[in-house]
Structure 1
Amino acid sequence: MSRRRLDREMIRRELAPTRSQAQELIDLGQVLVGGTVATKAARLVNPGEPIVLTGPGPRFVSRGGEKLDAALTRFGIEPQGKRVADVGASTGGFSDCVIQRGAAHVVAIDVGHGQLDHTLRTHPRVEVFERTNVRFLEVDEVGGPANLVVADLSFISLKVVFSRLAALCEPYGDLLILIKPQFEAGRVEAARGQGA
């Protein structure tokens, strides 16, 4: 048999559900190949070569879940029993976080498609809206407003979509948005790391 990439072999052996989670475990130094800590997902491994996980593994399907979990705790926002809109869902780290924290229903919205982790895609409390651009989204298309809107958007300024995000949130609901300076600052400021 031919050698395979480590991340793909981890999925084949059911050590990680996705390549991004395999990469995360490798980045955390929690993967041993033949007794040596693996540092690259692209490393080629033999089919019979031992691969061992040394840590507990990630809590969420992506690192976004850790970021949101910390923010929810910091700001005292509790998703338990709430309807949540996750805008820019991607792999679903934010969706996974709020589901684990007891959200009643999650609307996972993303302009892309095929990225949401299978466990979330098939979860009974998650409703998936792919190929959906929040700039043109009407609230009734996703079943009405949410009690909590979380957003992690790339390649677009929040200035362009903030009114749509606010429209997705019920009055007196919570809106928690990850701000990415590279999409908010001008090119010069972003290049210098100065932000806006």
Structure 2
Amino acid sequence: MRLDQFLVQRGVATSREHAKSLILKGQIGLGLKPSLQITDKLATQLQTLKPQPKRFVGRAGEKLWGFLEQHPLDCQNKVVLDVGSSTGGFAQVLLEKGAGRVVCVDVGQGQLAKELRENPKIELHESCDIRAFQPSQIYDLLVCDVSFTSLRLLLATLAPLSSQLLLLFKPQFEVGLRVKRNKKGVVLDQEAINQSLQEFLTLAQNLGLKVCCVCESALKGKAGNVEIFILLERG
């Protein structure tokens, strides 16, 4: 059995991607070198391992952290609008990077992690579609991680809210339902992904936004889709 599969089975990791991350960071093993394979003997030893505490409250935190490590943004004392905040993975990272305040907006309710809900630097707007949100200001930075909605339907609403936008482009919600997927929901038509991405970038430019960075997330979506960070700036 592969080590990543074993760690998920034993509850040490929440997913194979999470397990792989722990392994390659050297956080797994009893004096073992990082590896993606495991013998039966070592599996017996590893049964004594306790689950590793999660660093972030959601997988989104790992995605954003990975992006910012490669493409640093100045978050110090910034007021950030987090669209699609969910459990708060993005918000948590932004606070760790020095954000002064994070305004969280999500259509759901009761999802934000307790530790963030109680943080005085968090302003939470639940059961709120961003298209109905009443902003109190123009934000220093806007981040967006939404599901089951195309970014193309939101961009005209998002664009005026900040001069800097960092969006997570998820092919599974952008290419349309007729595009071929595997049983897990992973989009298999790369041409459709490329076309959808280009259409979105063109839309952004037509709205007066400059495309500053297009970068694949180091951590895939839960089903295995390759998601893409897009950094846009105005002016």
TM-score of the two chains, using structure 2 as the length reference:
0.59
Please report how far the alpha carbon of residue 23 of structure 1 lies from its aligned counterpart in structure 2 after TM superposition: 3.0
The equivalent of 2:112 in structure 1 is 116
Deviation per residue, 1:8-57 (Å, 9 max, x gap): xx9xxxxxxxxxx97369952769xxx7657xxxxxxxxxxx8723x4x3
Residue of structure 2 equivalent to 1:44: none
Identity over the aligned pairs, expressed in percent? 37
The 3 A distance-change label for structure 1 pair 60 and 51 is: same
Q: Is the 8 A contact 1:92 1:117 kept in 2?
A: yes
- Distance verdict in 2 for CA 1:83–1:155, change over 3 Å: same
Question: Which residues in structure 2 correspond to 1:134-153 (within 5 Å)?
Answer: 134-139=130-135, 143-153=136-146
Which residue pairs with 2:34 in the alignment? none
Give the Cα separation in 2 of the matches to 1:168 and 1:51. Answer: 46
Per-residue deviation, 1:182: 0.9
2:214 matched residue in structure 1 = none
Structure 1 residue aligned with 2:101, among 98, 105, 108?
A: 105
| Cα contact 1:182–1:190 (8 A) shared by 2 | no
Structural mapping, 1:30-49, within 5 Å: 37=46
Q: Which amino acid aligns with 1:114?
A: G
Which whole-Å deviations, capped at 9, do the CAs of 1:127-171 have from their partners, x for residues lacking one? Answer: 1100000122232xxx212101001000001111111111221xx
Unaligned runs of 5+ residues in structure 2 are: 1-10, 23-27, 30-43, 182-187, 197-235
Question: Kindly tell me: are residues 27 and 178 of structure 1, through their superposed partners in 2, closer, same or farther at Cα, counting changes over 3 Å?
Answer: closer
Matched ranges for 1:82-93 at <5 A: 82-93=78-89
Which of the residues 144, 165, 171 maps onto 1:175?
Answer: 165
- d(CA) in 1 for partners of 2:159 and 2:127? 20
C-alpha separation in 1, matches of 2:115 and 2:15: 17
| Cα separation, partners in 2 of 1:188 and 1:120, compared to 1, 3 Å | same
Task: Provide closer, same or farther for how the CA distance between residues 92 and 24 of structure 1 changes in structure 2, counting only shifts above 3 A.
Answer: farther
Query: CA 1:119–1:163 in 2, change beyond 3 Å: closer, same or farther?
Result: same
- Structure 1 match to 2:4: none
CA RMSD of aligned residues (A): 3.0
Instruction: Tell me the number of residue pairs that the alignment of Structure 1 and Structure 2 aligns.
Output: 158
- Listed as ranges, the gaps of 5+ residues in structure 1 are 1-9, 11-20, 39-49
Residue 14 of structure 1 aligns with which residue?
Answer: none
Which residue among 19, 23, 36 is the counterpart of 2:14? Answer: 23
* CA distance in 2 between partners of 1:74 and 1:190 (Å): 32
Q: Distance in 2 between matches of 1:60 and 1:52?
A: 18
Letter in 2 for 1:81: N
What is the alpha-carbon distance in structure 2 between the residues aligned to residue 187 and residue 26 of structure 1? Answer: 26
Aligned partner of 1:125 in structure 2 is 121
